[in-house]
Amino acid sequence: MIRQKQIKAATGIKPRSSHIAKRNMALVSKSNKRETKETASAIHSPEQDKDLKPETCSSEGDDSSEDGKEKAETECQEKTLPKKDGKDDKNSASDAASSPAKVAGGAGGGGAASKSATVAEEDLLHDVGFFVTIKPPSGDSFEIQVSSLELVQEIHQLLMDREDTSHRTCFSLYLDGAKLDNFAELKTISGLKEGCVLHIKENAYTIREARIHVRHVRDLLKSLEDMDAYNGAECASLAFLNIVTQGDIVEKKRSTVESVDCTPPDYILPGCKERPLVPLQPYNKDTRTPPCLKILTTSAWNPPPGPRKLQGDLLYLLLVTAEGYHCHITASPWGFYLNQSTTEEFNPKPATPCYLSHSLVDLLNQVSLTFKRNFALLQKKRLMRHPLERVPCPYQVFAWSAPSLPHTVDAIRAEDAFSSKLGYEEHIPGQTRDWNEELQTTRELPRRTLPERLLRERAIFKVHSDFVAAATKGAVAVVDGNVMAINPGEDSKMQMFIWNNIFFSLGFDVRDHYKEVGGDAAAFVAPRNDLQGVRVYSATDTEGLHTLGTVVVDYRGYRITAQSIIPGILEREQEQSVVYGSIDFGKTVETHSKYMDLLQKAGEHLKVLPHKVLNDKGEEVELCSSVECKGIIGNDGRHYILDLLRTFPPDVNFLNLKSEIDYPAACKKLGFPISHQHKLSTLRQELVDAFVDHRYMMFLKFAAIQLQQLTAKTSDPVKLQQLKAVDEEKKAEEEPVTEQSAQKDGKKVKDNKEIEAEEAKKIVENVTESIAAEKQVEENTRDIIKKASAAVGSLKESDFDIRFNSDVFSPGVKHADANGTRFKKERQLVVDAAEFLVSVQLPSMVHDLTDHSSAPTDGPSLCEVMHSRGINVRYLGKLADMLAKIPELGYAHSIAVLEIVFRSVKHILAKYIQGVESITMSSGITHFLNCLLCTGVPRVNVSKTDELLSKKKRKKNGNSLPEWSSLTPRSLWQQIKQECKAYFGFELTTDSIDACVEKYGLQKISLLRSVCLRCGIQLKLRDYFSRSTELLTEDDLINVFPIVKHINPRASDALNLYTAGQTKIQQGLLKDGYELISESLNLLNNVYGAMHPEIAQCLRMMARLNYIMGEYTDAMCYQQKAVLMSERVNGIDHPYTITEYTHLALYCYANQQVSVALKLLYRARYLLLLVSGPKHPEVSLVDSNIGLILYAVGQYSLSLTFLENSLALNKIFFGEKSLKVALSYHLVARTQSCLGDFRSALRNEKETFTIYKSELGMNHEKTKESDECLRHLTQQAVVMAKKLSEAYNGKPNNQFGLPPIQIQAPARCSVLEMLNVINGILFVHISPAEIEKVKEELEKGSSDQSKLEKLALLGEKDVPEKSSSKKDEVYKQEEDTKESKVNGIDETCDKENEPPVPVEVR
C-alpha cells in the first residue's frame, strides 16, 4: 500500500525552492474531498472488503501547523525508499505466479531491483495486520485491526467514521503517554504491537479546527442524502443496487421456492411499448434522513470583535433545533457552548447553563432531545450502507435525471459556492496550488522498483484528479461570468482567463488563426485533437519531455480548454518563448537539438517520422513532429511541448486533394474524398499501429517466400516451382479485403493470415541463420530484403521502416524535397493508411458484428468498438450504410443511426445555446428539446421573464420574442438532415422524429437520454411522452452540467499483472491466474484508491473466477462490489452496469437467492429497454435467463412469455439454423411440456432436432439427447390425447392401463447448468486420470486427431483444431471487447462442481 509519508517525501525529491517543496509535500499528501473519512471506513469497518484498501491521505483533523509540516517533511525525506541498480527481469510467465512482484516489475521497463528492493516490494504487497485497543475520553474501549504499513492518520480517519467516535475531529493519539506523529507509519513506532492501548486525548481548537469540526458535523447530518449526487458535487454519485435487492444480498438468507416473488413490472414485459423514466431511480423511504435539527449555520455576528477574540472566541453559530428553539453557539479553544446572543442583540457571555462540550454533537445532544434520538438513528443507518456507496469517486459523475429536491439553508454550501478556492485549500499554507509544478514533479519521481512506481503512479493519479476537478470548476465559472478575463477589452469570444493557476481559453478562431483550415469549426475540434496528442505523448512517458495538464470542458454550448501554465510564459512574448516549431503554420519555423532528441525517442513509439521543411528564408529546418507543435523551455528548465493537434497523419479521405493525389478505388467506391467542415481530420493511433502491423506481416511473408526460393534454387528445381506457385497465391491473398469478402469469409482469411504470419516469422529466422554462414549468398539476401521493403512501401531500402510525416498535406508548409522520391513515398503511406481504414478495418468491424464477437448497446459503446480499430467517428455514416445491408445487424444499424442523429443534434445545440440568454436558458433548452421530440409546433413560454417587468414595459415590448423561439420542428429536422449529410455523409430521409423512429427503429427515450447525458442536461424525473403536443416545460429542466474530457493515467504494473493473469487462465491454470488477478486488484487499489472503472472490471473477473472454481458465495460478494462500483463510476444506466447486473443475477441464483436474481434481471431488462430498445442480443440473453429462472420456480406461463421472445430475437440475430436458436427451441419445448401443451412442445423440439441433425450430425451427443426428448414428448402427447378422449367419452381413467402423464419439476442443478451454458460458461467434466493419460500421450509425441480433441477440451488454445466449429457456438458468447473475456473459456472441473484441475500442457 502506498504510504502518505512516502508520497510526501517523494514529491519533494526535486524541489525548485524550499517553499515550493514544502507546499507540494503538503498538497500531494493532503486529503481532498475525494478521499475523506468515508475511505477509511472502507478499509477498517468490520463489514468491509479486504481487497478494496484505498489510499487514505491526511484529513482535515491533522496537525498542520508549519512546524508540524516541516517535521513531517524532514522525517519523510529521511525514510525515502533506497535506490539500487538492478538487472532486467527476464523471468518467464510461469515465474509470475510464484512472484507477482516480478510480473509487476516488468511493466515499468526499469527492470527488477536488487535483493533489498525486492524485499521492499514483497513487504509492500504483504503487510502485517494486528489488533490495538482504543480508549476514548468517554465510553467503552474497543479493538480495531490495523496494518503495519498504515499511517497514524489513517486511524484518525477510521475513528472519525465509527459510530461512537464520529463526532470527534480535534484529537491526538497517545501510546504510553507519548503523542503519536500523524505521518508516522505504525511499524516505525517503538512499542506498538498486538494488544497495545491507544488513548484518545482532546486537543484545543483553533479557528481552522473549529470550522473543520462544524463542516464534519454538517457532513454527518447529510450523509444519507443524495443531494450532492444529484447536484454533481463532492464527487458523489448514485447507486441503487441495495434498493433493487431490498437490502445487502450478502446478508440475505437463501430463499425457498415458496417465498419467491416472481411478478415482473408490466413495463418490462415483452411487447410493452411504454418506457417510463421514474423506475430508473427507485425510491427507498428508508434512506430518508430523520430531521435532527432545522438550521445550523454560521452566525451573522461573525467574526468575533477584538475584545472577544482576546477572550478566546473563535466563531459563532446559529442553531434552530427541531423543536423550534433558537440559540447562538460560541466556538472556543475548549469546545462549544451556548451564549446569550439573539438575532437583535449581541451578548457573547455564556448562557445558563452553557453546556460546554468539546464536541458540537455532545452539545446538541444536551440542547435537543429530538437531535439526540434522530442522530443516533441516522448514525446506525449510515453505517448500514455499503462502504462503496459512501466512498467518493475519482471523477465527478453526473445524473441526467433527478427528482425535485427541496432547497435547504446551508451556510457551508454557500461558502463553498462563493469561494474562489477548492475545498480545504484555504487551510493549506501557500493558498493556491501550482498545478504545473505538481503535475511535472510527480512525473519526475523515480520508477525503477515496484514501490517507486506505485508511489509515482499514485501521486500522478491523485494530482491529475484534483486538477480535473479544479479545471472543471474553473471552466464553469468562466462561462457563468464569475472570472475576469486577462484581456477584458477584447471581444468575448477572444477573451482568455486565469483562475486558480489554470489558463482558460474558448474554442473560437481567435485572430483568424485557423482561417485556412476551417475557422471556428477547426478551432472547436483543435482542443480535442490536442488532448489526444497529450494523451499519447504522456503514455510514452519519455523522460525529460513534458506536456501540459490539459482538460477540455463543454458547457452551455462553449468549449473551454483548461491548461496548466508554463513557468515564465506570461512574462514573455510568444515569439520569444517558442524555441521549436512554428507559431504561424509553417512560415517561421524553429528547431532545437534537445527537442529533436526527446521527440525522436517518443516518435519511435508513435511512428512519427523526422522530416525537413523550409522556413520563410528558404532554410532547411528538421522537425520530428508537425509544424504546429511548439517547444517552450520554461523558467524551471523543463522542455514543454504543446499544440499537439496534428500528432498523427492527416486523413486524406476527408481532405479534397484530387489535384494532388490519385485516390484508391476502395476510397472512391465509398464516395471519398469528402470535403469536411475543417482540415484537421487526422487518423487515430490505433489505426496507425494496425496499419504498421499489417505491413510488417506483408514484409515477413514476402521475405519468407523469397528466402525459401533462394535456398531451394540450388537444391531442388521441382520444389522451386512449387514455392513460386505458393508465392503467387500469397500475393493474391494480400489484395485488400473487399466489403463483400469480409462479410462472407472475413474470419477464415483472418485466421489464415495469423497462421501464415507465425510461419513467416519462423522461416525468416531459420533461413537467415543458415544463410549467415554462407557468404556467397549474402548479396542475394540483401536483394530480397530490398524487394520486400519496396513491396510494403518502406522508407528504408534495406529494412522495414513505416513511419508517418504529419506535414505531407499541411497547407502552407514547404518541404525540403517536395519533388523527391522519398517525399512521394511519405505521401503514399498516408494515402495507403486511409485506404487500409476503408478496405480492411471497416469491413472487418462489420464482420465482427455479424459474428457477434461484439454487440454494442448504445452509441458510446459502438464508438468504442470503432476506436479500438482506429476508425474515426466521422465514418459512422459509411458504417451505417454497410450495416443497413445486413438484416441480422438491424440493431447495430439503429444504434449507428441514433448516434449520427444525436451527434448532429449536439453540433446544432451548441450553437443554439450560445444565442440563449441565461435568464431564458430553461425555456430555450426545453423549446429545443420539444422541437426535436415533438411533431407539433411547441408553445414558446417566456412568462417567467415577463413577471419581472412592469405592466408598462411589458406593453412596450409587445409580442417580441427572442430569436431562438423561431425554431420549429420542421426547421430543426432540416438542419439535422443537412448536418448528417455534411459531417457524416449519411442521407437521412425523414423529416420528423416520428418518421425517423418508424423507419430506423429508434426510441424517443433513447434519443432524449443521449442528448441529456452527453450534452450536460438534467431533467426532472418523471414519465415523458405521455402528452402529444408539448413534451417539456421550463420547470422540467433542473440543471446544466459540464461534459469533461481528460487523459486517464494508468496503473502500469497492475495492468501487467492483469494481462499475465488472463494468460494463465487461458492456459487452464486458474489458481495461478486467480493469484495474479488478485495482486492486480491490490495494486489498482494502491494507485486509484477505492473507486475506479478498472477496479470494477477487475472485481468482475475475480467474481467470474470464483464462480468457475465453485466458490459461489465469494463470487457473489465480488460481483456485488463490481455492480456498486460500476453504478458509481460509470453510471446507473451504463452498458457495463447492465452487464454487471446480469452476472450478479447468475451468482445470486447459484446461492439460492432466487427472488433477488429475478429482481436483478428485471432491472437489467428495464435498463436495456431504456438504452437500446427491445431488439438487441443482450435482451435475448436476459430473457433466456429470466425465462429459465421462472421455469425453475414453476411459473411456466410467465416463463414461456420470455423464452418465446428470446427465441424470436435469436432467429433475427443468429439465423434460423443457429445452434442458439436450437437451444431456444428446446427451452420453449421444455416449458410447454410442463404446461401440458405437448403438441406445441413436440413441434418445437422437432425444430431443435432438425437443427442439431443438420449442423452436428446424427452421432452427436446433442442430437441424441434431442431424439430421446422427442420420444418422451411423443409418448406423453399420446397419453394426453387418450386421456382427453376418455374424458370426452366418459370412460374410466385406467381402463386400458395407460401410464399417468409425467411432468417433472425442474431440478435446480439442471437449471443452473443451463444458465451457465446460456451465459457462455461450459464446465468440461474430465477426470485427473484422463488428464494424466493425455500428458503421457503428448510426451510420446503422438499427434493423432483424438488427442488433439482432448487437448482442445483442456483449454489448449494453440492446438490446430477447428475450435470455432458450430458445436462450440452453443457454449461460447464473448463479452464486450473491453471486458475480461472469461465467458468463452472452457474450464475443466469434476462432476461434483469442485474447482477445475489446472493443467499446463507442454
Q: With contact defined as beta carbons under 8 Å apart, do 621 and 647 qualify?
A: no
Q: Whole-angstrom Cα distance, residue 1158 to residue 1164?
A: 10
φ/ψ of residue 332, rounded to 5: -130, 170
Q: Whole-angstrom Cα distance, residue 51 to residue 934?
A: 50
In eight-state DSSP terms, residue 873 is G
- Nearest residue to 1174 (alpha-carbon basis) of 56, 490, 272: 272
Question: What pLDDT score was predicted for residue 1325?
Answer: 56
Q: With contact defined as beta carbons under 8 Å apart, do 841 and 869 qualify?
A: yes
Q: Residues 581-590: pLDDT tens digits?
A: 988 777 789 9
User: Burial level of 615, CB count in 10 A (0-12/13-18/19+)?
Assistant: middle
% of the chain at pLDDT higher than 70: 75
Give the lowest-confidence range in 325-329, 512-516, 1251-1255: 512-516
Angle at 873 between CA 869 and CA 874, to 5 degrees: 125
Question: What pLDDT score was predicted for residue 428?
Answer: 45
User: What is the C-alpha radius of gyration for the chain, rounded to an integer number of angstroms?
Assistant: 34
Residues 6+ apart with CB under 8 A from 404: 1020, 1038
Q: Going edge to edge, which strands form the sheet with 814-815? A: 620-623, 611-614, 814-815
Calculate the CA 62 to chain-centre distance: 33
**pLDDT, the chain, mean:** 80
Q: Pick the residue with more confidence: 1272 or 709?
A: 1272
Question: What pLDDT score was predicted for residue 1281?
Answer: 77
Q: With contact defined as beta carbons under 8 Å apart, do 468 and 476 qualify?
A: no
Q: Residues 575-626: pLDDT tens digits?
A: 678 899 988 777 789 999 999 999 999 999 999 999 999 988 888 999 999 9
Distances in Å between the alpha carbon of 118 and those of 84, 361, 573, 1055? 10, 48, 50, 20
- pLDDT confidence bin for 1368, thresholds 50/70/90: very low
Residues 6+ apart with CB under 8 A from 67: none
Q: Residues 239-267: pLDDT tens digits?
A: 999 999 988 888 776 655 556 778 899 99
- Collapsed DSSP state (helix, strand, coil) of residue 537: helix
Q: Pick the residue with more confidence: 43 or 221?
A: 221
Q: Residues 632-646: pLDDT tens digits?
A: 999 999 999 999 999
Give the lowest-confidence range in 566-575, 728-737, 994-1003, 1384-1393: 1384-1393
Q: Residues 470-504: pLDDT tens digits?
A: 999 999 999 999 899 998 888 888 899 999 999 99
- pLDDT confidence bin for 991, thresholds 50/70/90: confident
Calculate the CA 502 to chain-centre distance: 26
Question: What pLDDT score was predicted for residue 1323?
Answer: 65
- Collapsed DSSP state (helix, strand, coil) of residue 1154: helix
Summarize the confidence of residues 858-864 as an average pLDDT: 95
Question: What pLDDT score was predicted for residue 427?
Answer: 42
Question: What pLDDT score was predicted for residue 554?
Answer: 96
Question: What pLDDT score was predicted for residue 516?
Answer: 85
Give the lowest-confidence range in 723-737, 954-968, 1059-1073: 723-737
Q: Whole-angstrom Cα distance, residue 1107 to residue 1115?
A: 5
Distances in Å between the alpha carbon of 528 and those of 14, 627, 1280, 1389? 32, 18, 69, 50
Give the lowest-confidence range in 888-897, 932-941, 1365-1374: 1365-1374
- Collapsed DSSP state (helix, strand, coil) of residue 207: helix
Summarize the confidence of residues 204-224 as an average pLDDT: 91
Summarize the confidence of residues 519-548 as an average pLDDT: 94
- Collapsed DSSP state (helix, strand, coil) of residue 814: strand
C-alpha grid cell, residue 860: 458510446
C-alpha grid cell, residue 1198: 410467465
Calculate the CA 487 to chain-centre distance: 38
